[in-house]
Amino acid sequence: MAQKTLAGKTVEVTDEGYLVNRKDWTKEIAIEIAKEEGIELTEKHFEVIEYLRKESAAGAQLSIRKVGKSGIVDIKGLYQLFPGGPLKYSSKFAGISKPASCV
């Protein structure tokens, strides 16, 4: 756990740079975290991000398949938006916790 200043706001982040408190999230913070990963966020990215924030707040278990069924983007498209690890990166930019298994 560490403190970090993102878009002019000091927030708590995990060792891997995920926000600890989802309430700290702003669009500006998302843009800055994404920049660190070399991704320029577009409207489409934000549609996915808003969907993830909404679903995760409702207690849903997130998966790549679930996002693919959301009607926002298919899985191929999701990979194009967030190359390399779509759920891992989109969750990071959405200010929610890193997708994890039990161990």
3-state helix, strand, coil in the chain (%, to 5): 45, 10, 45
Q: Catalytic residue among 1, 58, 100, 102, which?
A: 102
Strand, coil or helix: what is 66?
helix
Query: Is position 79 an interface residue for another protein (rule: CB under 8 A)?
Result: yes
Residue pair 87/55 in contact by the 8 Å Cβ criterion? no
- The question of whether 64 is a catalytic residue gets the answer no
- Least Å distance between CB 73 and another protein? 12
The smaller minimum CB distance to another protein, of residues 86 and 95, is found at 86
Catalytic positions: 102
Residues that bind another protein (CB under 8 A): 15, 59-61, 63-66, 69, 75-76, 78-79, 83-88, 98-103
